[in-house]
Amino acid sequence: MYTLVIGNKNYSSWSLRGWLLLRQFDIHFEEVRLPLYSETFREKIKDYSPSGLVPTLVSGDLRVWDSLAICEYIAERHPEHHCWPEDEEARALARCISSEMHAGFFQIRNSLPMNIRRTRSIDASTPELDKEIARVSEIWRTCRQSHSEGGKFLFGDFSIADVMYAPVVLRFKSYLIKVGTVEEEYMQSMLSLTSLQEWIADALAEEEIIELYEQ
């Protein structure tokens, strides 16, 4: 039995990763929601996460406190779900783009914070932000073009690579970022997932406002 500790569904992009992984692969878990920057968060987070960050997965006495580490842990414990692509080459590429997402894209993170309630474009872009948006588009386009016959996701079947890019799909939707046809179709496939729709509905029902993410 797992417990997943997450932040607000409207704002916490890293939390979405851990949650979507478990939901999409139908792995049972209990959810503990600690609203970011709240008194409750400050009081409770240390009970769960040594880093003080969410998401954290509690599995017995073990705490796994990083979204990519949670993905790897679940993939190892549930090999029957094939959380990474089965093909060795595709798996290596899936790990590359997942690490690229995990360790980079700071302009996207800072300029387009996840805010599911929002549907308004940004006032002005920068060359650095445009470059990162173009790189994400390139990743989605090349993956989809190589795996168009295997299914609707980056490597055909849904995988951890899709989990890692799910928050970017929501950011691009919120900020009305223009992408090509192939990328738009990929975004629609992600947005059609029942699990992601459930997350979005829960996010829209939340009432907390974090000013930092509202500008």
Ligand X SMILES: N[C@@H](CCC(=O)N[C@@H](CS)C(=O)NCC(=O)O)C(=O)O
Size, binding site for ligand X by CB under 6 A: 13
Distances (CA, A) of 155 to 101, 105, 180, 197, 203: 16, 21, 18, 21, 27
Residue 49 vs 189, nearer CB to ligand X:
49
- For the segment 53-82, give every residue that binds ligand X (CB under 6 A): 53-55, 66-68
Question: Count of alpha carbons within 13 Å of 117, Cβ hemisphere only?
Answer: 17
Stretch that binds ligand X, among 7-15, 80-88, 125-133, 194-202 (CB under 6 A): 7-15
Q: Does residue number 159 form part of the binding site for ligand X (CB under 6 A)?
A: no
Rounded Cα distance between 21 and 55, Å, is 12
The least distance separating ligand X from the CB of residue 60, rounded to whole angstroms, comes to 20
The least distance separating ligand X from the CB of residue 103, rounded to whole angstroms, comes to 9
SS3 readout for the chain = CEEEEECCCCCCHHHHHHHHHHHHCCCCEEEEECCCCCHHHHHHHHHHCCCCCCCEEEECCEEECCHHHHHHHHHHHCHHHCCCCCCHHHHHHHHHHHHHHHHCCHHHHHHCCCCCCCCCCCCCCCHHHHHHHHHHHHHHHHHHHHCCCCCCECEEECCHHHHHHHHHHHHHHHCCCCCCHHHHHHHHHHHCCHHHHHHHHHHHHCCCCCHHHCC
Q: Does residue number 4 form part of the binding site for ligand X (CB under 6 A)?
A: no
The least distance separating ligand X from the CB of residue 88, rounded to whole angstroms, comes to 25
The least distance separating ligand X from the CB of residue 17, rounded to whole angstroms, comes to 7
Q: Which of 14, 19, 105, 155 binds ligand X (CB under 6 A)?
A: 14
Q: Does residue number 112 form part of the binding site for ligand X (CB under 6 A)?
A: no
Residue 27 vs 210, nearer CB to ligand X:
210
Q: Does residue number 8 form part of the binding site for ligand X (CB under 6 A)?
A: no
Q: Does residue number 48 form part of the binding site for ligand X (CB under 6 A)?
A: no
Residue 189 vs 196, nearer CB to ligand X:
196
The least distance separating ligand X from the CB of residue 96, rounded to whole angstroms, comes to 17
The least distance separating ligand X from the CB of residue 52, rounded to whole angstroms, comes to 6
Q: Does residue number 36 form part of the binding site for ligand X (CB under 6 A)?
A: yes
Residues of the shown chain interacting with ligand X in the complex, contacts defined by CB under 6 A = 7, 12-15, 36, 52-55, 66-68
